[in-house]
Amino acid sequence: MVEQDDRTHSGRRATKLSAAKIPPMDREDQWAFAKWVPRFREKIRTDERMAAWDTLAKKRCLPGDLEWAFYWAIDSMETASYVPAKLRAFAKASGEVRRKIRDLWPSLGVMMRLKILRYPVWSLFFGLLQLEKEEAVRFTKFLRELAQFEACLKLFPGKKTAASTLAQAQAECEAHGQVILQLFLKVFTGSVCHKETAVLLEAAGEAYNLDVSPSFSEAAVAQRYKRFIRSHGDEAKEIKRDLRMLRAERVKENQPLELIPFLIAREKGRARELMDLIERRPL
């Protein structure tokens, strides 16, 4: 199985995205989905599963939407299986960075305090090199920004991260794809369809050859959904806004835009907006 890149989510404001701006899916995702679809179609050829599929189809759900949504739900569960390991690796790396920053502070202090008469020595270099005034301003803010960066790193979990914290992060990542599926059903049909979702998620997991073993009982599916909505209400509202925009874009463009590629493009759009904001912000 192809390991997907980590996906992070936030409550950032929605950005406008037309159909023309939707980039193609990553080749790995397209390839993995294309391999999974025929297996999934084979797995649902039982009476109970076909009845569940027909129930959703009668609610005017496009087959392509449903296939993408079930694939993404299972793919998120697979991703969740290695979330704790990635969190621990990041915590370890951030600890090493913090140690290096601590070692750096004394030398930085000496350098910044050196003066000729009343003027910091560093300021003379800006004049000699004829650098822009804005560069000097950025230079003076460096220590404050570094201190803020170090403070942020201290917030990240360390080696002794509680098992409950890691389990919570894993559960949230595991539920995210399923929630997209059920919010899609909610927006497009008016119901989250816990029963049908549970039956077809089991088939989707079998088709994916899922390494982990989440429960696909109706009660477990309902619990994952309710827990996520309760803990991440703002994000759920954001996803629903995206889904409503998808529906509006389909009418506007008169073409069946694919569900998951559209949502990924929206997420990438928000990420670009955030990175542009960071790059434009003066240090």
Give the pLDDT of residue 278. 56
Average pLDDT, the chain: 79
Percent of the chain with pLDDT over 70: 76
Domain finish residue from 127, 155, 183: 155
Does 249 reside within a domain?
A: yes
Give the pLDDT of residue 10. 36
CB atoms within 10 A of CB 132: 9
Give the pLDDT of residue 162. 58
Give the pLDDT of residue 49. 95
Q: Distance between the two ends of the chain, CA-based, in angstroms?
A: 42
Residues in the chain, how many? Answer: 283
Give the pLDDT of residue 273. 58
User: Nearest-CA neighbor of 231 among 178, 168, 162?
Assistant: 168
If asked whether residues 96 and 79 sit together in one domain, one would say no
- pLDDT classification of 202: cutoffs 50, 70, 90: very high
* Tens digits of residue pLDDT in 110-133: 888 888 888 887 777 776 667 676
If asked whether residues 256 and 183 sit together in one domain, one would say yes
* The most confident of 112-116, 162-166, 235-239, 255-259, by mean pLDDT: 235-239
Give the pLDDT of residue 77. 86
* Tens digits of residue pLDDT in 7-58: 333 333 344 444 445 555 677 878 889 999 999 999 999 999 999 999 998 8
Give the pLDDT of residue 9. 36
Question: Could you list the residue range(s) of the whole structural domain that residue 79 is in?
Answer: 19-83+163-280
Considering only residues 206 and 276, tell me which one the structure prediction assigns the higher pLDDT.
206
If asked whether residues 259 and 189 sit together in one domain, one would say yes
* Tens digits of residue pLDDT in 147-157: 989 888 887 75
If asked whether residues 143 and 120 sit together in one domain, one would say yes
Q: How many structural domains comprise the chain? A: 2
Mean pLDDT of 236-264: 81
Please work out, in degrees rounded to the nearest 5, the angle formed at the alpha carbon of residue 162 by the alpha carbons of 161 and 168. Answer: 105
Does 11 reside within a domain?
A: no
User: Nearest-CA neighbor of 200 among 56, 62, 75?
Assistant: 56
* Tens digits of residue pLDDT in 56-114: 988 878 888 899 999 999 988 888 777 677 777 887 888 889 999 999 999 988 888 88
Does 10 reside within a domain?
A: no
Q: Which residues contact 184 (CB under 8 A, 6 or more apart)?
A: 65, 69, 243, 259
Distance CA 255, CA 181 (A): 21
Domain finish residue from 155, 172, 196: 155
Distance CA 181, CA 198 (A): 11
If asked whether residues 105 and 239 sit together in one domain, one would say no
For β-strands 119-120 and 115-116, DSSP reports them as: antiparallel
Q: Which residues contact 227 (CB under 8 A, 6 or more apart)?
A: 171, 175
Q: How far is CA 193 from CA 68, 119, 143, 182, 201, in A?
A: 17, 70, 54, 7, 12
If asked whether residues 73 and 207 sit together in one domain, one would say yes
If asked whether residues 177 and 272 sit together in one domain, one would say yes
Buried b / exposed e over 101-131, threshold 16 CB at 10 Å, is eeeeeeeeeeeeeeeeeeebeeeeeeeeeee
pTM above 0.75, yes or no: no
